[in-house]
Chain A
Amino acid sequence: MKEPQATRILQEIARQQVPDDIDLWPAIQARVQHRRRPSGWERLRPTTRLGWALLILILSLALGSAAYAIAPAVRQLFQQEAGLRHVEQASLSQELNLSQTKEGVTVTLEQAYADANRVVVGFTVAGPEGQRYDPYRVTLTDARGTVFPLGTGLGTSGRSDIFGIELPPSEGAYVLGFDTTSVEDAPAELKLRLVVEVEKVALPPDATSPFLTSAQPPAEPPDPTVVELEPLPAPDANSLIGPFIFDFSVPFHPGYTIEVQQTAESAGVAVRLERVVVAPSETRAFLCFEPPAGENIAWTLIAALDVGDGQSLFGGVVNPTGEAGQEECHCVIYPYALSDHHGQWELTVTELVGTDLTKRPSEDIRLPGPWSFHFRMP
């Protein structure tokens, strides 16, 4: 009885100080969002060569016993996010299957989709056997040359247990989203140009084995919040192939833009919900407020969306716009298909979180809300 008694005493001590109903989730969620890593879609966004390298590295885990889909890899990637899954199921995506081959490398633009929030393209890259080429630079423009900013993306090469995809080591599949906020007047279709450059990368000695092994837990870095990455060297011009240029058109799905223009005040801060854009692949809310304190404090917010079913959806916040110290506007992205949820919606900013960048370690300032907004989805 010795050990059970000791265990009971320790449990009692711990229970007295730490009750069963503690809830760390709101604080953890705030910290996740504050790090601008709100969703897989955004988290996996490759914006640099290094990002691409990490994307491939992380997503190419091969751990063994997964079930692999028969569906093409690009379609399988579309299944990874609720909003794009809906796009696939509703057959809103445009089949293209446009291929180009240069120096033994074939890039195939398989499908594309466009709405008021984003254009999403899915393509594959296939190198000669024993060689692998990854996207190095991908740009999307319209017929007038307007560049759509790269937003978020998913991708894998070779085999991925996470996505249930098995490709030869020399092939990769990618789905990238580009911001379409700049599109005006809701055209029936978008005429687009996708330009892809690919870069040769070294395959591991045994390309069928995982890049990462996880038999042992990862070593602890000195500071868990800081991961220092060495920049990659400039690309060797000889390792780049392209550009592969694809001109195509896709139907444009305008969705609904709700001009809310409501202001709510709490904790001495006025927050304005400007508008909500509900498109088939995702919903975006645009919220603005004047930073409550200091130019060196980076602010973000936590915003829950209830589309009338009593459930709270949480979105990811992308980098704010606005001058330092002046009103800044934040776009909250909810990667869900919400177009069919008509009726009364409620958006609640539960907390504003500021990080004092002058402090080491940085310190958070938390302003509790709520700032609540009610509006009708037509």
Chain B
Amino acid sequence: MEEQEAIARMKRGDIEGLEVLVRRYQVQAVRAAYLIVGDRETAEDLVQSAFLRAYERIGQFDTRRPFGPWFLRSVVNDALKAAARRQREIPLEADPQTEEASPVSLQADPDPGPEELVMAAETCQAVRAALDRLPPAQRAAIVLRYYLGLDEAEMADEMACPRGTVKWRLHTARKRLRQLLRPLQSAD
């Protein structure tokens, strides 16, 4: 069944249409949510709720637009909120080094990018741990940019903030990742 047909069925209340969309987007959505909230169970719950909400509001959905980006944006927003709640409930370990708010150029970063450092890291778990230590908004920025492949303009739209803020979040996130992964790189 094509996506358009699935959406049309959903608009009629036919849950077979929903099933098609669940099977098409569930893995990508849960993975995106997991990268932000850091907990699979929470990620699955968020995605389930997002699908239910999409089902209930599909009547308002413009069928001329693709469903995937609309849905994934909803998931990322939910994950960001959930991560923020979790952060309030479980304070992250203080890391004064990375809390600096020094002036940062938004131009090209002369230091090695996080990607190189990431490749030097021994395990993905280390990167996962480093991601977990980022504030939720920065984590979401990383996921949107590198996992979902959005450009800065799309990210600004997704995160409902100015493009300059997106640049700032990405830059700060990269910088923090670099700092967090540096010990691993040194250990090599």
Say yes or no for B127: interface residue by CB 8 A criterion.
Answer: yes
- Cβ-defined contact, B52 with A40, below 8 A: no
- Measured in the bound complex, the distance between the Cα atoms of B57 and A161 in whole Å is 16
1/0 contact trace for B53-73 toward A, CB 8 Å? 101110111111100001001
Q: Please give the distance in Å from B66's CB to the nearest CB on chain A.
A: 12
Contacting residues, chain A, for B124 (C-beta < 8 A) = 9, 12-13, 16
Q: Select one of B13, B14, B51, B147 contacting A7, CB under 8 A.
A: B147
Say yes or no for A3: interface residue by CB 8 A criterion.
Answer: yes
What is the total number of residues of chain B having a CB less than 8 Å from a CB of chain A?
A: 55
Known contacts A24-B44, A37-B13, A14 near B34 by CB under 8 Å: yes
Q: Please give the distance in Å from A282's CB to the nearest CB on chain B.
A: 14
Closest to B149 in A: A7
- Cβ-defined contact, A7 with B30, below 8 A: no
- Measured in the bound complex, the distance between the Cα atoms of B124 and A215 in whole Å is 40
- Measured in the bound complex, the distance between the Cα atoms of B11 and A212 in whole Å is 14
- Cβ-defined contact, A215 with B52, below 8 A: no
Closest to A16 in B: B124
Interface residues in B127-146 (C-beta closer than 8 Å to A):
127-128, 131, 142-143, 146
Say yes or no for A256: interface residue by CB 8 A criterion.
Answer: no
- Cβ-defined contact, A29 with B59, below 8 A: no
- Measured in the bound complex, the distance between the Cα atoms of B40 and A215 in whole Å is 33
- Cβ-defined contact, A13 with B35, below 8 A: yes
Q: Please give the distance in Å from A183's CB to the nearest CB on chain B.
A: 27
- Cβ-defined contact, B18 with A5, below 8 A: no
Say yes or no for A18: interface residue by CB 8 A criterion.
Answer: yes
Known contacts A9-B119, A13-B35, A28-B51, A38 near B15 by CB under 8 Å: yes
- Cβ-defined contact, A18 with B31, below 8 A: yes
Say yes or no for B156: interface residue by CB 8 A criterion.
Answer: no
Say yes or no for A58: interface residue by CB 8 A criterion.
Answer: yes
Q: B87-95, B96-104, B109-117: which lies at the A interface?
A: B109-117
Say yes or no for A358: interface residue by CB 8 A criterion.
Answer: no
Say yes or no for A11: interface residue by CB 8 A criterion.
Answer: yes
Q: Select one of B12, B27, B77, B146 contacting A80, CB under 8 A.
A: B12
Interface of B, secondary structure class, is helix
- Measured in the bound complex, the distance between the Cα atoms of B22 and A285 in whole Å is 27
Closest to B60 in A: A218
Interface residues in A79-106 (C-beta closer than 8 Å to B):
80
Say yes or no for A205: interface residue by CB 8 A criterion.
Answer: no
Say yes or no for A228: interface residue by CB 8 A criterion.
Answer: no
- Measured in the bound complex, the distance between the Cα atoms of B15 and A39 in whole Å is 7
Say yes or no for A44: interface residue by CB 8 A criterion.
Answer: yes
- Cβ-defined contact, B48 with A28, below 8 A: yes
Say yes or no for B26: interface residue by CB 8 A criterion.
Answer: yes
- Measured in the bound complex, the distance between the Cα atoms of B62 and A135 in whole Å is 28
Known contacts A5-B119, A6-B146, A32-B55, A39 near B26 by CB under 8 Å: no
Say yes or no for A49: interface residue by CB 8 A criterion.
Answer: no
- Cβ-defined contact, B128 with A13, below 8 A: yes
Q: Select one of B40, B53, B59 contacting A61, CB under 8 A.
A: B59
- Cβ-defined contact, B27 with A20, below 8 A: yes
- Measured in the bound complex, the distance between the Cα atoms of B65 and A32 in whole Å is 24
- Cβ-defined contact, B22 with A28, below 8 A: yes
Binding site for A on B (CB under 8 A): 8, 11-15, 18-19, 22-23, 26-27, 30-32, 34-35, 40, 43-44, 47-49, 51-53, 55-57, 59-65, 70, 73-74, 77, 113-116, 118-119, 124, 127-128, 131, 142-143, 146-147, 149
Pairs A-B, 10 closest by C-beta atoms: A40-B13, A214-B62, A14-B31, A43-B13, A40-B12, A2-B115, A6-B146, A224-B53, A10-B147, A6-B115
